[in-house]
Amino acid sequence: MVGQRSANPLPLYAKVKQHILDGVARGKWTDGARLPSEHELREALGVSRMTIHRALREMSDDGLVTRVQGVGTFLSVPKLKSPLVEIVDIADDIKSRGHTHTTRLITLESLTANVSLSGIFGVRVGAKLFHSVVVHLENGIAVQLEERYVSPFFAPHYLQQDFTANTTTQYLRAISPATEVENQVTAIRPDAATCRLLNIDLEEACLQLSRRTWVSGTPTTQNYFTYPGSRYMLGSRYRLADLAPV
């Protein structure tokens, strides 16, 4: 019962709000779902009509519910716009867990832009780009296949680097941190080459993060990071109060 005493009692209307939010967290109500009527909430929680009315009014003011006169109250979960993943060096990520990070350099070369890459970098077809493929291992187990296309105007000495001693992220960040980032994550079925490099079966589901970066409005890199689903997770932590609704 909502009116039950506790060591640090909340106002009854706040407990009504928490009851609804707890139901959302448990999956009892989802976005757009019709919530119980004021009468049903009074009966279930044992509080007054004014208490229920205040709780729903405040939730409506906060954009958490939508009240339609004569129809009912509907859950309206805010759509948050947030960074999907930060630009974190995988070596730092692995070392933060007390594990050992190593790399295998597969490819480090110069190539010419095809139609797709010319559009990404805003250069003519046939223009020179740098290309690298690196496998990152955690305690000797492959957890990420990294493929990068890099503008030689941004990183002219890219091909002269030892990317078994330092990561590509460390090197590029030292030149200049990205000022604009576009991230997209998709689930993929890996091809035979990816399976070989990551030492996984063809049936293994993978996540692929596509990341494009700019510095001062100029395209600098196009990156593809592939993770075996059974070995690695993409995640983030952030304060909801710091994010703006779209």
Q: Does 71 share its domain with 96?
A: no
Q: In 3D, which of 129, 86, 93 has the Cα closest to residue 110?
A: 129
User: Residue 246: CA atoms inside 13 Å, Cβ hemisphere, count?
Assistant: 5
- Which range scores top for mean pLDDT: 56-70, 93-107, 227-241? 93-107
Chain mean position to CA 134: 22
- Is 81 part of a structural domain of the chain? no
202, 163 contact by CB (below 8 A): no
Structural domain for 204, as ranges: 90-228
Question: What is the domain-level CATH number for residue 27?
Answer: 1.10.10.10
Q: How many domains does the chain have?
A: 2
Mean pLDDT of 7-15: 74
Higher-pLDDT residue of 87, 236: 87
One-character DSSP codes across 163-187: TTTS-HHHHHHHH---SEEEEEEEE
Q: State residue 81's pLDDT score.
A: 36
For 129-141, what is each residue's pLDDT tens digit? 999 999 999 888 8
Q: Does 100 share its domain with 172?
A: yes
Residue with tokens 């007390």: 98
Q: Does 147 share its domain with 71?
A: no
Cβ atoms < 10 Å from Cβ of 52? 23
In order of 46, 74, 152, 213, the CA distances from 123 in angstroms are 68, 50, 11, 15
